[in-house]
Amino acid sequence: MKYFSLIWASLFRRKTRTILTLLSIIVAFMLFGLLQAVNQAFNGGADSADADRLITNSRYSIIDMLPVAYQRQIESVPGVKAVAFASWFGGSYQDKPAQFAVFPVVPDEYLKIAPELQVSPQTLAAWKADRTGAVVGEALAKRMHWKVGDKVPLQADIWPQKDGSLTWTFDIVGTFHNTKDKANGDSALLFRYDYFDEARQYGQGTIGWFLVKIDDRRHAGSVGKAIDALFANSDHETKTQTEQVFAQGFAKQFGDIALIVSAILGAVFFAILVLTGNTMSQALRERIPELGILKTLGFSNRAVWWLVLLESLLLAILGAVLGLLLAVFAIGAMKSMLTGFGITEVGWRVVAEGLFFACLLGLLVGFAPALQAMRLKIVDALKA
């Protein structure tokens, strides 16, 4: 752009004021990047959920266990293709709460229900042959520096063993790759349910929830009602919902993250809008004679309008780019601490949204001053 140097010089005519405004925009967009990464992580499970997969858990609480015998009854419901189950293990690793999911499962059944978990035939065979064997997500293995043959001890906080020991040791027999949920799906450890059920001190024959694969997603509601009707008025009533609804409900236990993020960002951007608008208006008032000279030299009203508007856009976009870069570096620096929450990166979608809002901010802030500059008469400008 041949007028870029002119726009840049005008923007930094008052360096201190411009730098302070720029810093405010940088902080706003860094906050935008960080909060949107959190929001994206909390919604990631719902976004990657299968529409033809249901979750059946206790009607009253997710921590209430269900009899494993329910599996055969659920399989008999019309429209159900396959059923598997899992339970929450929790636990601690290296004296800290495990920052990854730990589930006891039946290998063949679970992988049939969740085909997005890619396990090699060799790994599956080794897993089925090793009673204490476990498979871990590729991202988790890389983060923890685990390799095949390693023994991983976890300290139970819910499930002690029959001998009273709280230490469960698993043999890493291989890894899996989640083809759908790259952010959260590769951060899990799966081990064998038969080992878990026989070794635990209590709760034999119970599980946390069932995963139900149905033949047609359009029948999810009717199949769910049919499953729950099987166990109505029993000691263990159930609640069946789609995996997406279940993931959304689980995230909302922490609060309405999307609403909280929107409220914070709305307040921040309103403040930035007022601050930047004041900066641009003040800069225009100081430069009225200069604009008059530009028009005297032959610059058209439209050219002056674009000069002022592009100045506002440059300020907003420059601040957004620097702020989003800082958010990317911040997430990268804290990745080891945040991965357990599914927060792994500032995605391209967040970056694109940030740049869109930067352009919108620049247009909103610059439109009125640009219009005023365009309508400015040469005689009035030179008298100012």
Residue 266 half-sphere exposure, CB side, CA atoms within 13 Å?
6
**CA 335 – CA 345 distance, rounded (Å):** 8
**DSSP class of residue 200?**
B
Contacts of 9 (CB under 8 A, 6+ apart): none
Residue 246 tokens, joined: 């279940």
Q: In the structure encoding, which two tokens stand for residue 191, read together?
A: 């081990």
251 token code pair: 């995230």
Please check the confidence at residue 384 and state whether its pLDDT lies above 80. no
**Helical H segments across 219-375, by residue range:** 220-230, 243-252, 257-286, 288-296, 301-333, 335-338, 348-375
Instruction: Please state the pTM of the whole predicted model.
Output: 0.64
Going by C-beta distance under 8 Å and a sequence separation of 6 or more, which residues neighbour residue 302?
Answer: 374
Buried b (16+ CB within 10 A) or exposed e, 144-165: bebeeeeebebbbeebbeeeee
- Average pLDDT over every residue of 74-86: 94
* pLDDT tens per residue, range 300-324: 777 777 888 888 888 889 999 999 8
Q: pLDDT, tens digit, for every residue of 172-225? A: 999 999 887 655 567 889 999 999 999 999 999 999 999 999 998 888 889 999
Q: State the pLDDT at residue 186.
A: 74
User: Which band of pLDDT confidence, cut at 50, 70 and 90, is reported for residue 282?
Assistant: confident
pLDDT (tens digit per residue) in 39-73: 766 655 444 455 689 999 998 877 889 999 999 99
pLDDT digits (tens, 9 = 90+) for 110-135: 999 999 899 999 999 999 999 999 99
